[in-house]
Structure 1
Amino acid sequence: MKARALAVLVLLAAGVAGLFFSPIFGFWAVLRPVAAVLVGCYLAVELSVRFPPLAVLRAPLVMLGGLLGAVESELFATTVFGLPTDATIRGLVLGITQSWQLTLQSTWPARPDPAALLFVPLAVALAALLGVELVRWAPAALLPSLVVVGFSQAYLPLTGWAAAGGACAYGGVAAALLMVSRDTAFLRSASRWGVRVWAPTLVLGLVGAILVTLLDPVTPVLSLRQTQPSAAPVILTSPLDDLAANLREPDVPVFTYTSTGHVDRWRLAVLAGFDGANWSSSAVFRRMGATVALPSGITVPTTSRAATVYLPGATGQTDQSDQNAWWLPSQPLPTSVAGTTPWLDQSSGVLVAHDRPASTSYRLTWREPEVSSAALAGAAVDPHADGGFGGLGEIPPGIFDLATSAVHGIRPSFQAALVLERFLADNYKVATGKDLPTGAAWPQLTNFLLQSKRGTSEQFAAAYVVLARLLGIPARIAVGYRGEVAAPGLPITVHNRDVLAWPEVAVAGVGWVPLDPTRTAAGSGASVAADNSLAAAADKARQDLPPVKQLRDPPLPPRADDGGRPPVISLGWIVPGLVLLLALMALVLIGIPVLKALRRVRRRRATGLDGVVAAWAEARDLLRSHGLAVAAGMTPRDVAAACDRGEGPPVGAHVRVLAVLLDSALWSGAATQAGAVEGAWSAVLLVRRGLASQPLFSRIRATLRPGSLWSPAAGKTRTRRLPTALGRRVRGRRALVAE
């Protein structure tokens, strides 16, 4: 029975360790394969217990049971009636060699696909096998599961209540395993002193950890994901370079989509880097997980939108035969994709996929910020937006003067961004026909801005971004396709003629807002005035923009202490203050018992008459800790009488024994023998045992009471000083002995 209990606890420890991966995949996604592995391992253990001849095969049976649990829960689709096949073996090999890497390369929470999740049940199976084999020594049996816990924390450390709950769960299983085994002297000591020492320490430590974690939830900075190189597909061409070529074949279909509402634009790529000759992307792609959270910088409400995209074939987009990736139509804030597993750049919302089949479809859901046109018009730009100031190269003469004159001296704001957009729309023309300009380097942009004033959306978007950055407005280029206004739910086909490059401006609290200096995007007219999309809010703010002569800087955001309101009090001191308070509490709770223990050790080393007197001082301080008022001139018999009268603990008889020994040592006239010292400390032990019968709360209070650390006379801290009357007797007796 004990062997089964130990095996079950070892398996539970491995299972709890596996559940530490829940923040990465989700609790229920991890629970199912972990539970299947534990069931398989336990059945193997049960077979070895019921049939003793199989005991020598317990290790391979446990491993086989764990593998079967992993296969039946994660690779069942590769089996035939539950029996493993070649595909199952290949899946297990990939799970051992690659699944842990795929998880590191993914956004979190990751997709609970076998290709990524399989390493978790396999790690649990290995920890269960090693733990069962090492169960004869319980501490060693816990080491494999502890390794799994550490492995999970290297992926994503738990914080807050999740960390406290996980620690309690694993600690409870580990404590049960150690108590059931009871094979070390440490356990016997812990069981005797656990309530007095270990339990309060554990509770205080747990409460302190929870408080510090909740008050100061620091984002983990150390993770294996930071050291794992991305295996994203390689992209060698940019849609911006092929924009003019697509416009020369306007009738070629690209993709079809259906949506629940109006879609203003579809993005393929975002370009933020510029060295004067080339525009580049700083995208960091990760395999898209189950869901993607919104960026922390977006504080306005958002609404969910969805669309189904169908890519009919490879002829719909620019030829990408020289690369192993395809751009997928996306939105700025995608949250999930069903039907394919793309790679995502979270800073721009760009999606790419590996070699695309002849046709594919997927369902995309995304979030869109909701903001009024008035709030958007008066919003400030976000100067800390990633990629907002990606470089300008060597700026040609005349460009800076053009930028400053375009906005009429308005400081950087979203209103200034709209003024710059209106300047380009009113003073430059969109090129049409077959003779289309190409290129977005400084030579082409200089010709566009200062000479020809004619270009495609490529030159409009690039020129806007460089002028905006010169004015202190964070901006970047997005390349994709304009949407169409149609009835919701009807299929809409996007063609090459819809290709578009547009600038995006970073707005504080809102994110990246798309603009359109060409005025050709679907969201740049009255057709979407009733829509509550971000493009519609920008269009309404564009229409309400005052004329040049009436332009004024928007008011600065109000300070917190304006308008008679009290200034905001910084609370940054709370966490350090609480940490200091907890440290002081721990110092007091631990320091007082330690000081008393050191004093007792020092007294115990005394010999002869000093040893008997030290025993009396120890007994006196014990009684003082338990609330007995001991005056400076009280003798041991006075203290015993006070205990008999109910003024202190009922240990008067033991104190009288100590009084007899003390009187004998003081007045016998002979040298104090070693037996007297031992007898005195035996009486102290009797006093201590008598005090142990007091209520638990009284004993805890006595342990932590600091008053007995100093002498009862005038609060002095000389702990070995005797009461006044007794001190005179000792000094007089020592003089007699000396004569």
Structure 2
Amino acid sequence: MNEHMSRPVAAGRAGVAGLLGATVVSGLLFTPVFGLAALVIPLLVVALLGYGCYELCARRTALVPWRPILVLVTGLLGLIESVLFATTTGGLPTAATMGSLGRGLTRGWLLTLQSTLPARPDAEQVLFVPLAVLLAVALGLEILLRLRKPLPALLPSLAVAGLAQAYQALTGLTAMLAALAYLAPAGLLLWAGRAARPTTRSTRSTRPGAVRPPSWAGVVLALPTVIGVLAGAVALGGLDPASREPYRLADGHPAPPPPGGLTNPLDEIASRLADPGQEVFRYRSDADVGRWRLVVLDDFDGATWSADTRLQRMGTRLAAVPGSTVDSAEVRLRDSSGPWLPSQPNPVSVDGAAPLVDQSAGTLLSTAGGGETRYTLTWSAPEAEAGRLGAAEVDTRLAGGLGGLGAVPDEISQLAHDAVRGLRPTFQTALQLERFLGENYRVAVGDTLPTGNGWPQLRRFLTETKRGTSEQFAAAYVVLARIAGIPARLVVGYQGSTETEGGFHVVRNRDVLAWPEVAVAGVGWVPLDPTATAGRAERPQSGLDKAATQARHQLPPENQLLPPQLPPGQQEEAGDASNGGGSHPWWAMTAAVPAALVCWLGGVPLAKAVRARRRRRRHGADGVLGAWAEARDRLCAHNVPYRIGMTPRDLAESAGSVLGERAREPMARLAGVLDIALWSGAAVSDGAVAGAWTEVRELRRGLATRPVPARLRAALEPRTLLPRPGRPTSP
């Protein structure tokens, strides 16, 4: 009898150990979020204390009803000693301890969602993971020991695993190894349940800690079920049906801006130049630092420039640009009156401060108040060959490059065309625009400096005074570049200083600078500076600055820049290049009268689907033209005005006025891809075709938000099946 009783007891302990091990592994799936070192100790503490409570209740059956409370209380005490020990007094919890525990329970999950990954393993922030594991341990033990159901006992740990994947999904080999690590203790639990089968009915009914074993059929079904559920939880975040990044909970939880709102450093340039000797900050670095950025402005409504910032709390480290060098600098601000901190385009880490970061812009914002601020910034500095950069295409897919322009004055559009000599959008064209501003406009000096960056001020600068600060130069460059189809954005910051004091470079108000950045395919955002040419200023250069300077020196004279030519060998059939459809199912429109209604309801959507499929199968420039034709026909079906001779950007603005920004933005980006396909003179890559069809999918998503009657009418609109002769014209 003792042998029969010892076997279920040993198997019961193995089952509990398997359950606790599976739950710990589910908590360790948060390793990409916080790192392994921050999680191992608190998770092991929770598991060991949970097992101790199980053994205690197995020996003192009177404590069995209190087991979940014992698990939770001892687990919380263990977390206080292992995570929040610094807030205790001699190991005893204090009011500060309870406050930190409460904040970790209520705010830790949100702070982590708002952070870059890996997040800072601050006690209050990391605490929600072991707390979730503690709750899963308490629930799992009760399901296992009270309900005697091993498989349902795994559900709390699977919930923790799913939560981890929502924060940061594991993919590939890492996901497979994580699944195997979970299945090992889960399999132990199921095996122990089978091994714990008692031989007498009395033993099964009287043993307090015994686990009712599953049947063989249950075991056969259990293992595939556990494997399927865990694999689904791991793969859910990596599922990519539309060529997008895996979904994360963090995508819907940006960090809030600092209290007091955001200032616009662009509006402060003139006032800073009026007091040139005032120190702003100082820095010490072994690297040559050409510029320090404060803010990136990518939206313009005709009156004001704004930043479409997506802020996150700075984690421990961001990924460096592959193949780049990593530099660092110690920065000191005597009075950080504004939230913007001096930064670099690709920050990697910040020590000594916990700022907010916009990764796409490379900007940092302080969450502290005024006063002195000190931090060490590490960043990656990508480089590019001048020859490759000079011949590079622009990248219309980078967000913010082709933002708003407001109501463009008539003469400015012609000025933009003349400035680039009608060239198609390339980086060489961007350099030509920089040369145009540098040679035909001059930097304002003296006591009376022009201010303003809206269309009234830019129109006066471009057509009348031709004199301005970097504020007008940079803003004018960005609007002219966007009109010419070049993706550009405006950056405000400071140029690197040559003045030194006590081993630090001192940056003063006179070093304030605004400059444009152009999106270049395969390189990213490349800084330019038309004021350097206009003012003949020599400034420190590093990274892409040097490559841009070398490409600038290799730029041919204006009289040797050739206007765009049609790509050789591209012959279009009438009505086919713009539609990309070839022959159409005219039988659906000329069927007999009795079948007309059926053909209309079924034939028109089917014909459109077949035509779209044929367009997607095209390659090269024809593939991009097919994407343009598909987007145009969908807009026309939704009553967006279109006429022969409209440029792609004209149609984008027309779509925006009728359907809103969700239709205008993808059309504007598609227009940039189309320009390259028509005017580059080179073969169009499959990546460009895929990018064009990506914008078509974005347009479809925008149209899918329209009311159901409008979408139904568009789906049944037969006139868009008619051929539309003509190739889209250049902007």
Q: Is the TM-score greater than 0.5?
A: yes
Q: Aligned match of 2:494 in 460, 464, 481? A: 481
What is the deviation of 1:407? Answer: 2.1
The 1:74–1:6 alpha-carbon spacing in structure 2 relative to 1, beyond 3 Å, is: same
Q: Aligned match of 1:432 in 427, 445, 451? A: 445
Residues 44-86 of structure 1 show CA distances to partners (whole Å, capped at 9, x for unaligned) of 4344445666555433332223213322332222123333222
Q: TM-score, normalised by structure 1?
A: 0.67
- Contact 1:39-1:69 within 8 A present in 2 as well: no
- Contact 1:261-1:488 within 8 A present in 2 as well: no
Match for residue 594 of structure 1? none
Worse-matched range after superposition: 466-475 or 228-237: 228-237
Q: Which is higher, the Rg of structure 1 or of structure 2? A: 1
- Contact 1:482-1:521 within 8 A present in 2 as well: no
What is the deviation of 1:202? Answer: 6.8
Unaligned runs of 5+ in 2: 1-8, 195-210, 570-618, 621-682, 690-731
List aligned pairs for 1:260-271, cutoff 5 A. 260-271=286-297
List aligned pairs for 1:153-552, cutoff 5 A. 153-182=165-194, 186-190=214-218, 221-228=246-253, 230-233=255-258, 235-293=261-319, 301-314=323-336, 317=337, 320=338, 326-485=339-498, 490-519=503-532, 525=538, 528=541, 533-552=543-562
Q: Supply the AA of the counterpart residue of 1:65.
A: T
Q: Measure the CA separation in 2 of the matches of 1:8 and 1:247.
A: 69
The 1:71–1:280 alpha-carbon spacing in structure 2 relative to 1, beyond 3 Å, is: same
- RMSD of equivalent CA atoms: 3.7
In the alignment, is residue 127 of structure 1 matched against residue 128 of structure 2? no
Match for residue 155 of structure 2? 143
Q: Aligned match of 1:30 in 23, 39, 58? A: 39
- Aligned to 1:443, the other structure's residue is in SS state helix
- Contact 1:507-1:513 within 8 A present in 2 as well: yes
- Contact 1:523-1:535 within 8 A present in 2 as well: no
Q: Measure the CA separation in 2 of the matches of 1:120 and 1:409.
A: 58
What is the deviation of 1:535? Answer: 0.7
Q: Measure the CA separation in 2 of the matches of 1:33 and 1:542.
A: 57
Q: Measure the CA separation in 2 of the matches of 1:336 and 1:16.
A: 29
The 1:96–1:189 alpha-carbon spacing in structure 2 relative to 1, beyond 3 Å, is: same
- Aligned to 1:361, the other structure's residue is in SS state strand
Match for residue 621 of structure 1? none
The 1:476–1:124 alpha-carbon spacing in structure 2 relative to 1, beyond 3 Å, is: same
The 1:85–1:335 alpha-carbon spacing in structure 2 relative to 1, beyond 3 Å, is: same
Identity among equivalent positions (%) equals 47
- Contact 1:478-1:503 within 8 A present in 2 as well: yes
Match for residue 201 of structure 2? none
Q: Measure the CA separation in 1 of the matches of 2:132 and 2:535.
A: 52
Q: Supply the AA of the counterpart residue of 2:422.
A: G
What is the deviation of 1:334? Answer: 0.9
- Contact 2:15-2:190 within 8 A present in 1 as well: no
Q: Measure the CA separation in 2 of the matches of 1:163 and 1:109.
A: 17
Q: TM-score, normalised by structure 2?
A: 0.68
What is the deviation of 1:123? Answer: 0.6
Q: Supply the AA of the counterpart residue of 1:458.
A: E
Q: Supply the AA of the counterpart residue of 2:126.
A: L
Q: Measure the CA separation in 1 of the matches of 2:534 and 2:22.
A: 59
Worse-matched range after superposition: 177-186 or 125-134: 177-186
- Contact 2:296-2:307 within 8 A present in 1 as well: yes
List aligned pairs for 1:550-699, cutoff 5 A. 550-552=560-562
Q: Aligned match of 1:12 in 15, 18, 21? A: 21
Residues 673-721 of structure 1 show CA distances to partners (whole Å, capped at 9, x for unaligned) of xxxxxxxxxxxxxxxxxxxxxxxxxxxxxxxxxxxxxxxxxxxxxxxxx
Q: Measure the CA separation in 1 of the matches of 2:36 and 2:241.
A: 25
- Contact 2:495-2:539 within 8 A present in 1 as well: no
The 1:247–1:202 alpha-carbon spacing in structure 2 relative to 1, beyond 3 Å, is: closer
- Contact 2:239-2:246 within 8 A present in 1 as well: no
Worse-matched range after superposition: 438-447 or 107-116: 107-116
Q: Aligned match of 2:88 in 61, 76, 79? A: 79
The 1:154–1:504 alpha-carbon spacing in structure 2 relative to 1, beyond 3 Å, is: same
What is the deviation of 1:229? Answer: 5.2
Q: Supply the AA of the counterpart residue of 2:32.
A: P
Q: Measure the CA separation in 1 of the matches of 2:489 and 2:423.
A: 20
What is the deviation of 1:427? Answer: 1.3
Q: Aligned match of 1:42 in 51, 66, 69? A: 51
Unaligned runs of 5+ in 1: 321-325, 573-739
Worse-matched range after superposition: 476-485 or 552-561: 552-561
Q: Measure the CA separation in 1 of the matches of 2:431 and 2:406.
A: 24
- Contact 1:258-1:488 within 8 A present in 2 as well: no
What is the deviation of 1:270? Answer: 0.7
The 1:244–1:471 alpha-carbon spacing in structure 2 relative to 1, beyond 3 Å, is: same
- Contact 1:415-1:554 within 8 A present in 2 as well: no
Q: Measure the CA separation in 2 of the matches of 1:524 and 1:348.
A: 26
Count of paired positions: 546
Q: Measure the CA separation in 2 of the matches of 1:253 and 1:106.
A: 32
What is the deviation of 1:555? Answer: 12
Q: Measure the CA separation in 2 of the matches of 1:180 and 1:465.
A: 69
What is the deviation of 1:228? Answer: 2.9
- Aligned to 1:178, the other structure's residue is in SS state helix
Q: Supply the AA of the counterpart residue of 2:352.
A: G
What is the deviation of 1:114? Answer: 1.8
- Contact 1:303-1:368 within 8 A present in 2 as well: yes
The 1:220–1:440 alpha-carbon spacing in structure 2 relative to 1, beyond 3 Å, is: closer
